[in-house]
Chains A and B, each alone.
Chain A
Amino acid sequence: MDLLYGLLVGMAMGTLLQRVGASSPRMITRNLRLENLSIIKFMALTIAVGSVGSYLLQLFLPMHFVIKPLYLGVLAGGLLFGVGFAVAGYCPGTCVVGAAEGRKDAWFTVAGGLLGALVFTLVYPAVEAGLIRPWNLGKVTLADWLHLPPLLVALLLASLLVTVVWRLPTVSQVKP
């Protein structure tokens, strides 16, 4: 059943990412240069709705939450990922979307990604000792850390995100 759910969620996600323009490397680099914030705002709204939605539904349904652990490699990996994100103009999901909609360079990002995943697999034992085991704080949420109910934290986070999205101009007025 999970396979079918995965397929359907993926199809909907592919449609949304294609329509919002997140699979355009030009759009992504404009967002990262802070000239156009539409994709960053799209992500912020997604998080605002997703956090309130999932912690609200948790009151009525069993939810399949997966909290990922925090360790040194999360920051190191994020820093590397950011460089790749800017250089490629894609992320691991949007390059798949881009490839499907006919972008030729997106296939190169998919291929580079497969090689990156292979190299990571091969060097994993060394990486695990140096970057994954150190500073492992475990699977912690902001709600655990603040000792507050998750739904309350989700509502606070969502209001903060919506306020920022509302206040900031989407397209920068200043000529860079």
Chain B
Amino acid sequence: MAAPQATAVATLAQPNWVRLGILFGLLSTLSIALFAPIGVSTTYPRVVGALLDKLMPGFEHASPYLSQLGGAMKGETFLVVGLLVGAFVAARLGRSRVSEVELVHANETGVSRRYLNAFLGGFLLLFGARLAGGCTSGHVISGISQLSLSGFVFAAGVFATGIVTAKLLKGGR
């Protein structure tokens, strides 16, 4: 447990985030020039709507929220498909091995507790993002880059509870 953890820190602590951060900033600029600012979270309700519409035809149209988002054939939906492809290829070509599961909080004594936390966290993430109208990409990265006040307010909220929660969940790890 201790050895791979130490290696992970050593590789991740290298300041390659400087180069990657500059590249991501250029990508975010390019995205706004090409079609729209980078954003991920709207794709979740669009996918849910498209799936439920297959089971219950008319679901998308009847929902006041989904009908205002429009269908799933959007650049943003394909951005999420691109995330899957890009990350899959990058991980295969990379030298460092990705661990299947990392235990991160004190209450995660086993894998099933990690899965439960991952699921509950995911629920809060998307409920919160949809309530706010964006997530880390749409509000924080793209929002603040466009100097949007809503991006600053969202980021302040995220880091306020994010930091407190992460510190509270920390145990001996």
Contacts and interface: CB of A to CB of B under 8 A. Distances in A.
Contact of A116 (B52, B90, B130, B150): B130
Contact of B118 (A57, A74, A76, A106): A106
B126 A117 contact: yes
Nearest to B59: A121
Interface in A115-158: 115-121, 124-125, 127-128, 131-132, 137, 139-143, 145, 150, 153-154, 157
Interface in B79-93: 79-91
A79 to B, nearest CB: 4
Contact of A93 (B49, B83, B102, B131): B83
B161 to A, nearest CB: 3
Contacts of A145: 149
Given A45-B25, A154-B147, 14 more contacts: A7-B81, A11-B82, A29-B170, A46-B25, A50-B26, A64-B32, A78-B153, A81-B124, A92-B126, A103-B101, A108-B116, A108-B122, A113-B125, A116-B130
A105 to B, nearest CB: 4
Main secondary structure of the interface of B (DSSP, over half): helix
B93 to A, nearest CB: 9
B16 A19 contact: yes
A142 B149 CA distance: 6
A14 B83 CA distance: 4
B56 interface: no
Contacts of B7: none
**Chain B, interface size: which category?**
35 or more
A63 B33 contact: yes
B124 A84 contact: yes
Contacts of A51: 144-147
B15 to A, nearest CB: 7
B6 to A, nearest CB: 12
B172 to A, nearest CB: 11
B139 A109 contact: no
A139 B150 CA distance: 8
Interface string B31-59: 11111111011001101110010000000
A43 interface: yes
A32 B118 contact: no
Contacts of A44: 21
25 contacts: A2-B74, A6-B79, A7-B85, A11-B89, A18-B87, A23-B87, A25-B118, A32-B167, A33-B167, A45-B22, A51-B146, A53-B28, A66-B142, A68-B139, A71-B150, A81-B162, A82-B162, A91-B40, A96-B87, A105-B114, A115-B122, A117-B126, A124-B63, A139-B150, A141-B149
